[in-house]
């Protein structure tokens, strides 16, 4: 196994550790993550029309995503605390039903900072909490919803440069 592929969150003794990034150069770091919530078409229509009892579902999920990104080091044990420069959250509808007749809401989150380590975990945490928030706000009418395809789409910055998900194979393209 070459050095680039070694797991960095373990000490020589095999114990979990926070990686020391003090020797790394601060650079602009950007990460994009996405995920999908599959739900009944009627549930999506209620979200779209603002007829959910708990309020504006996507507005609440947007705020939850940003709050989650900011709290990532409290949730992921070996994650560094970062001074996030920004977190963007975008929602889009998937109108084509899947094999179960469910449509979807896709979230894409982008986290940015200037620092010594990447923001992949912040982007992934933001996407997952946005989807969980939508689930929570809609579960009373649609318990069959499911979260799927939570994944890193892109990361930029640092020594490893740019990585983008290849949509056909899921392999590194950068």
Q: What is the pLDDT of residues 47-96, one digit of tens each?
A: 999 988 888 999 999 999 999 999 999 999 888 999 999 999 999 999 99
* Contact by Cβ (8 Å): 61, 68: no
- ∠ CA 61-151-50, rounded to 5°: 25
The Cα 37–Cα 167 span in angstroms is: 19
List active site positions: 136
The per-residue pLDDT for 47 is 96
The per-residue pLDDT for 170 is 52
Name the burial class of residue 67, with classes exposed (0-12), middle (13-18) and buried (19+) by CB atoms within 10 angstroms of its CB: middle
The Cα 124–Cα 155 span in angstroms is: 11
Q: What is the pTM of this model?
A: 0.86
The per-residue pLDDT for 87 is 98
Please give the average per-residue pLDDT across 160-168, as a whole number. Answer: 81
Return the structure tokens found at 42.
């009627």
The per-residue pLDDT for 21 is 81
The Cα 152–Cα 109 span in angstroms is: 10
Which domains does the chain carry?
25-155 (3.30.70.640)
The per-residue pLDDT for 32 is 98
């Amino acid at each position: 196994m070459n050095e680039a592929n070694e797991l960095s969150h373990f000490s020589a003794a095999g114990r979990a550790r926070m990686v020391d990034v003090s020797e790394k150069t601060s650079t602009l770091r950007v990460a994009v993550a996405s995920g999908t919530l599959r739900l009944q078409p009627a549930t999506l229509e209620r979200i779209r029309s603002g007829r959910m009892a708990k309020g504006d579902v996507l507005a609440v999920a947007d705020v939850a995503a940003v709050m989650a990104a900011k709290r990532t080091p409290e949730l992921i044990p070996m994650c560094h605390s970062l001074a996030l420069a920004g977190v963007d959250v975008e929602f889009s509808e998937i109108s084509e039903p899947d094999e179960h007749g469910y449509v979807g809401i896709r979230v894409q989150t982008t986290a940015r900072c200037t620092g010594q380590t990447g923001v992949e975990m912040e982007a992934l945490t933001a996407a997952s909490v946005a989807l969980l928030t939508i689930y929570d706000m809609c579960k009373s009418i649609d318990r069959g919803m499911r979260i799927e395809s939570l994944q890193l789409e892109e990361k930029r910055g640092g020594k490893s440069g740019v990585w983008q998900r290849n949509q056909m194979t899921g392999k590194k393209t950068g």
